Amino acid sequence: MEIILFGLLAVMLVFMFMNTRKRQKQMKEQQEEKAAKTIPGAKVLLQGGLYGTVVSYDAVDLDKPAQIELAPGVVIEVHSQAILRVVDPTEETVDSDDVAEEEAVEQHVDTVPAKDATDGIEAIQVETPEETKARLERNDEN
């Protein structure tokens, strides 16, 4: 009976060892693939859920921070391992429910009669970014 238990224990240890090695090999391949794809200009997803564009990344020295541009002119430094994955343009798929909802809204907009300002609805004027900047500069001068 003890021989069977020792045999079972040995089989379990061999299985665990092989499984661990396989997983480590997969993780190493994924890291190497991510490092190869992480080049300046690549769109990436960070651990915190933010999307950005790689400005600089050192695949050799992972302790060196990577520079990620979140918005035009907004560059942050993050630990290189904070990059979760490189986002391929093909990954950005549109959900079919979203497409159906957008089509329904477009149909509704086409069928709703337009109202003008004489019906008691005021027209809303939207500023362009240039107009907003000029307005703020005028306010600063005053």
Q: What is the pLDDT of residues 61-78, one digit of tens each?
A: 878 899 999 999 899 999
**Do 77 and 18 lie in a common domain?**
no
Which position has the token pair 């090695």? 21
Check residue 54 and give its pLDDT: 92
pLDDT at residue number 61: 82
- Average pLDDT value over all residues in the chain: 79
From the list 93, 62, 94, 96, the residue with the least C-alpha distance to 79 is 62
pTM: 0.48
Low-confidence residues in the chain, pLDDT < 70:
89-124, 142
pLDDT given for residue 117 in this prediction: 47
Domain count, the chain: 2
Sign of CA dihedral 102, 105, 110, 111: positive
Domain that holds residue 48: 38-112
In angstroms, rounded to a whole number, what is the distance separating the alpha carbons of residues 60 and 50?
24
Can you give the pLDDT at residue 137? 83
Residue 89 sits in a domain whose CATH number is 2.30.30
